[in-house]
Amino acid sequence: MSEPKKRVLITGAGGRIGSSLAEQLRERYALRLHYHRTVPESPPADHVVANIANYEEIAPALAGMDAVVHLAGDPRVGAPWEDIHERNIVGARNVFEAARQAGVRKIVFASTNHVMGMYDRDRQWPIYGNQPVRPDSLYGVSKAFGEALGRYYADQYGLSVICLRIGWFLPKPHNEISRWMWLSPRDGAQVTWRAIESDLGFGVFYAISANGGRHWDITDTIERLGYRPEDDAERFLAEAGRGAG
């Protein structure tokens, strides 16, 4: 008799990454999808509508879950502080605390390359996950806060928290920057389920495809999470170029 599927909440399921994960992980897990306001006409799984900045709204969504993939928040690098504070600071704390109160033992936190963006600005490559953070924006600061929050919940409460510093999630790479920071949809799904299944107490990992020109180190992601990226922007663009010829 097979084991029951893990119950996983995806917050921000209406976004580009969330909607992709909802489709790709629906067979692997028993999903619950969180939307802020707009719900698709035919959601691919059970769903809830809530404002993560309101604890009383979001807390019930965590009930009965084994894990949460926290994607919800303001994704705009140039978003004003008021929005960043409400959605990315208060919202993250609410989701983490609601998870703890509900007995959820695994949190996968969607961090960002912008936590280390000043290294990119100064072209100080390669960049490793264990270097001091150098955010390039208040958005990056808010995600650095989320990583620190995850460290606290892992140490203080024994939750397993995996933070994924996501590159550029795109169906396909299309310019020079995407050559080194592309995360393909299928690699995005894989690194997410690897994080869900990991028995690590805490970790921060770069989440990009196996791009030949990458500037960020994914050795830890491969060795500690068991990630096996299938896509490479260099190979994709080379094959596309041959096809165009």
**Residues involved in catalysis:** 139
Sheet holding 67-70, edge to edge: 46-49, 30-35, 7-11, 67-70, 106-112, 160-166, 202-207
CA separation for the pair 231, 176 (Å, rounded)? 16
Tokens coding 215: 């500037």
Please check whether residue 215 is in contact with residue 127, taking contact to mean a CB–CB distance below 8 angstroms.
yes
CA separation for the pair 60, 203 (Å, rounded)? 27
CA separation for the pair 206, 214 (Å, rounded)? 11
CA separation for the pair 211, 94 (Å, rounded)? 35
CA separation for the pair 154, 142 (Å, rounded)? 18
Write down the residue that tokens 């606290």 correspond to.
152
